[in-house]
Every structure is written in C-alpha cells, then in structure tokens.
A = this chain, B = another copy of it.
Amino acid sequence: MTAARSAKRMEAALRAAGYRLTPQRAAILAYLAATGSHPSARQVYDEVRQTYPGLSLATVYNTLGILVKSGLLKVLEFELDNRYETNLTPHINLICTRCGKIQDLVAPLPISAEHLADKVGFQVLDYRMEYYGLCPDCQGRIKNRQSATKINKGEQYEQS
C-alpha cells in the first residue's frame, strides 16, 4: 500500500537487479505489496494460486529468495515456516504465539548502530526485534473459552 511496498517499485527494483519480470513473479509481487501480513512461503503459494493457478511452490521459493537477495524482502527465520517481512522501515514485530499473527509496532530501536560501532565495535547490518505473547483477539478467546490447551511458543499455530 505504501510507496515503499508498491508493486511497481518492486518490479522496477527487480528489473534493476537484472531479473526478468515474469507473470508469476508479478503475481507474487502484487500479493506481497498488497498484504499487510507476514506470510510464510506456503501462505504466499496458497494465496497467489487463487489468481495464478499454475504457480508452483518451487517458483515461490525461488522468487522469495530473489526478492530477499535484492533487498526487497526480509526473512524472519523460525524453526518451522519462515515468515517474510514486507515492511522494511524500522519497527518491532509483535508475534502472537497462539494464532501466529504478526503485528507491526513502530518504535525506535533500543540502541543505534553508531553506538554499537563506537562502544562495542560491532558493525550492524540488520536487526530483528520481536515480542512474543498474545494478541488482543487471543487474549479474549482464552478468557472466554478458558482454553485447556497449553500455549507455548513452540506449539503449532491454530488456523485462524
């Protein structure tokens, strides 16, 4: 929706990086530009297939990998189902351990790259800031339905 994530801009950046814009890639880009979520590769596959039925999962992985290499996308690595970050502006992700939803929270990073370089000697290239817990919806659900199931970070998310 924003300029930074517009499909047109991503298409141009892809071409600038020397890649061709195929119909499959355009469809994936359009989905990524439109979504406000942090989808997994499988989610991208399932969603884009609704408008582009012939798409293969391998192409999804291939395209996502290209986008990451080109700096248009970030990966949040998890043990199962990596998630893809389309919002490249500095922010914190609030990750619900019950439903898997990831919500952006605009907030300053705790320490500046300059400080880390000067005081600790660490050269910052990237970051990942996450809080885990329960989103408003899931808090309500638990309060009401008094879920007997244990909610752990390692647990498989339920389908929304």
Contacts and interface: CB of A to CB of B under 8 A. Distances in A.
Interface of A: 68-69, 75, 77-79, 82, 92, 94, 97, 103, 105, 107-111, 113, 116, 120-136, 139, 152-154
A110 B125 contact: no
Query: How many copies make up the complex?
Result: 2
Nearest to A140: B121
Nearest to A150: B69
Contacts of A92: 110-111
B105 A111 contact: yes
B131 A130 contact: no
A95 to B, nearest CB: 9
B129 A129 contact: yes
A139 B128 CA distance: 21
Given A92-B110, A122-B134, 6 more contacts: A77-B77, A78-B79, A105-B111, A105-B116, A108-B110, A116-B133
Contact of A94 (B105, B108, B116): B116
Contacts of A133: 116, 122-126
